[in-house]
Structure 1
Amino acid sequence: MLFTTQTQDVISVTALNRMARNLLENGIPSLWVSGEISNLTLAASGHAYFSLKDAGAQVRCVMFRQRVRQLDFIPREGMQVELLGSVTLYEARGDYQIAVENMREAGLGRLYEAYEKLKKRLAAEGLFAEARKRPLPPHPRAIGIVTSPAAAALRDVVTTLARRMPNIPIILYPSPVQGNDAAQQIAHAIRSASKRHEVDVLIVSRGGGSIEDLWSFNEELVARAIAACPVPVVSGVGHETDFTICDFVADRRAPTPTAAAELVSPSRDAMLQQLERGKRGLERALARLIIDKGQRLDYLANRLSHPGERLARQQQELSRARIRLEALIKNQLRQDNRQLANASARLGRLRPAPEQAARTLQQLALRLARASEHMHTSRSMTLLRLETALSAMNPEAVLARGYAIVQNAQGKAIKSPSELGDGERVHLQLAEGEVDAKISLPHGTQTQLPF
C-alpha cells in the first residue's frame, strides 16, 4: 500500500508524477544501456535530446550540455551507443526518460550501417559522379512532383511555384513517402514520369523526420529509378541536416522542398525586373545612338563648304606662311650679322703687335741680367762666409799652432790627464806627422778615481 490510513486517497497529478519520479530514481540505480540513437536533436542550448531504441522498444533520453561537451565524438542519427544514466521522470509531461551521464560508441546502428554500405556501393558504380549530373532547364515547360498528396511538402512546393512562376504547369505523380511499400511506390512514380514525357524537370520531395521516416529514400530501387530517369531530378527530402541516398543520385540536392521548388522555377519577379532593366538599357542605348549620329551629322555639315571658300582659305594660309618665312629669314640674317661682328672684334683683339712684343722682350732681358748678377753676388758672399767658418773649425789649423791630438791604444781622444795611467802608451798626432809616447806621472801622484 502506498497510502496509510491517515493519507488522503486523492492526490494531484503533480504529486503523482513526483512520487513516480522518486520511485524510479530510488528504485533503479545508474546503469549502462545499449541501443541505437534515433530522433536526435542538438538544441541551441547545447543539450542533446534523443531516443534510444532496439528491435523491441525505445526510451527517451536527455544529455545536458556539460555532459555533451565531455564526449570525444559527436552523436549522430543511427549510431549504436552504450550510455550510463539514471532513470527519472520529466514531471511536466509525465514521460520517463534516462538522464545520461556518459556515452560511448558501440558501432553504427543497423539502419546507418545499411545506409553506408549502399552509399559506398552506388558511389563505386559511379551513380554519384558529377560527370553524369545534368543541368536544370532555365525555363521548364512543366514541372513534375513525386510526393504524397497529403504531405505538407506538396503544399510548400506548390505555393512556392505559384509565387515564382504561376503559369508553369505542375503535374503530381502521387506516392506514399513513408511505410513498408513506400519505396516501391516512389520508384514506380518516378518511372511513370519518365515514360509519360510530360515534364522537363522532376522534384522528389517530402518533409523532415527521423531516419526511419526517411528510409524509403535510402532504398536502392529508388536510387536506380532516379539514375535512369531521362529528365533532371531535384531531391528535396527532409531538412537541411538530412542526407539520403536520393540526394546523392539526383542531379541537384535541395535542403528543403521549398528550396527544391526555387531551384527548378525561374522567378517571375526577377524576370520582370531583368526585362525592365533590359528595356531601360535599350532606351538609353538608342538615345545615345541618336545623339551621336546627330553630332556626327553636324560635324559633317560644318566640314561641307563651297570650293571658292576653300581656295580663299588656302590663299590666306599661303599669305600667312609667306609672311612667317620672310620674318624667319630676316631674323636669321640679323643673327648672322651679329655673330660676324662679334667674331671680327675677337679677331682684332687677338692680332699680334711686333713693336710691343720687342719692348716687352727687352725689358725682360734687362730684368734677367740684373737678377743673375744679384744672385751671383749673393752666392759669392755666402760661399766666403762658409769658407771662413770651415777654416776656423779645421783641426789641422789648430795643430799648426802647436797643438797635438792625444789618443790611447783604443784610438780614443784623451781630454783629461785623469784618463791616463802611469806608463800608458799613447799616440800623438801633430801638424806635420805622428809619434808614439809613454806617460810618466810624477811620483806620489794618483789619478782621480772615477766615482
Structure 2
Amino acid sequence: MEKPSLTVSGLTRYLKLKFDKDPYLKEVTLVGEISNFRPRRNGHQYFNLKDDHALIAAMLWSYRYQALKFKLEEGMEVVVKGEVTLYGPQGRYQLLIKEMEPLGEGALFLAFQQLKEKLTKEGLFDRPKRPLPLYPKRLAVITSEHGAVIHDIETTVARRYPLLQIDLYPAAVQGEGADLTIIKQLERIRFTHGYDALIIGRGGGSIEDLWTFNSENLVRALVDFPIPVISSVGHETDTTLVDFVADRRAATPTAAAEMATPYSLTDLLASLREADSRLNRSIKRLLSVYQEGLRNYLERPLFTRSSYLYADKMQDLDRLTDKLHYLSQQKITSLIRPFNDWHRRLELQHPKNRLLQASYTLEERVNQLNQLMKERLKDLNHRFHAKNQALILLNPLAIMEKGYSLVMTPNEELIKSVDDLKKGQEVDVHFHDGIAKAEIISKEKFEEGKD
C-alpha cells in the first residue's frame, strides 16, 4: 500500500509546527558575521548571519532596529539572541532576533565611539574654548527640576557668590526624547539675553542613564552656543560627548558652580554638600537597580511573545508592499511619459512662446529700420551741406564782401549796362554793408575786346 503523498504547503506547515514546538529553538544565542545587509528605511531589516561554514537568514523588527544604540554594518561580528522559525511562503528557516550586541564590546560603547569619531572628523570638538566671566550676574542651568544637580548649584552659589541670579530651565535628563527637551531649553536661553554662562548636567549613572548627553542633535546645538557652557554630566570617571563640546567640564554639579562663581567660603559647607550629593547618587543608583529589574520583567515572553503570532503575515505584507511599490512606479512612469511629450509640444505652441518669438522678430526689424533711417538721414544731411555750400558760393552778398557793388535805380531796377544810365541820373549804389546815393556825371562805354 502506497503512503499518501504530501503537498508542498502541507509539508511546510508540518515543519513549521515542529519548529514552533521545539523548546531549544525558542531562544538561541548565536555569534556570527552580518552579511547581505541592505538597510530598509523605516522598515524591518533582513540580512544573513554567517561563519566560515554556514549561513542563516535573519530578521530584525523595525522597532528593535531603531532601538539599537550602534550602527549596524556589513561584515560586523555580533552576538544575537532570538527564535528560530520557518517562513512558510518560501520554505526557509530564519532567526527572529530579539537582542543584538557587537562582539567584544557593548553596543552603547561602540555607538559612542562611532559618533565621537564622526564628530571629531567634522571638527566640532576643535573650536577654541571660551573663558568664564569673573563676575557673572546671571547663570542659566539646564537639568532636572527635582534632581540633586540644581540643589547643589544653588547651594554652592549661595555660599560662594550670593549676588548671582540662577534661572532653572527644567528638562528631562534621562530616557527617550530627553535630548529634545534639553535642546528646546537651549533655544529659550539663546533668545533670552543677559546670561553670562550655562551649566548643563545631571547626576551619575550607567552609560544608559547618561546616554542622553551623547545625542548628536544635542552636541550640534551646543557647538555655536552664544555663551560659555559648563558640562557637569555624571561622575568624574564618566565621559559624554557633551563634555567634549563644552567650554569647561566639571566632575560634579558643585564643581560646576565653583567654576561659574569667583569666590569660596568654608570647607564645612563643602563637606555637607558632598554628603548630600553622595546620598542623592545612592538613591539614583538604587532607583536604577529597580528600573533595571522592571525592564527585565517587561522582557519576559509574556510581553514580547505576542509579536511572533503575526510574524509571517508581516513578512508577507513587506513583500507585497515592495511588489506594489515597484508595479505602481512602472505604471506611473508609463502614464506620465505621453503626458510629458504632449506637454512639450503644447509648450512650443503656447501663445506666450509664439508672442515671445514674434517680439524678437519685431525687435530685429525695428533695429534694421532704425539703421536704415540713420543711414538715410546721414546721406540727406551730407547732401544738404553740399547744397548749402553751393548756395553760399552763389550768394551775391558773399561776392559783394570782396569789393563788388550793385547799381540800381531808385525804383530798385538793376542796371546791368552803361547804356541804361543817363547823365545827371540819380542811382543807388548797393554795398554788402549799406547803400549810397550817387549822380551820374558822365559815362563811357568800353569797346569790345578792351578792358
* TM-score, structure 2 normalization: 0.36
Greater Rg by CA? 1
* TM-score, structure 1 normalization: 0.36
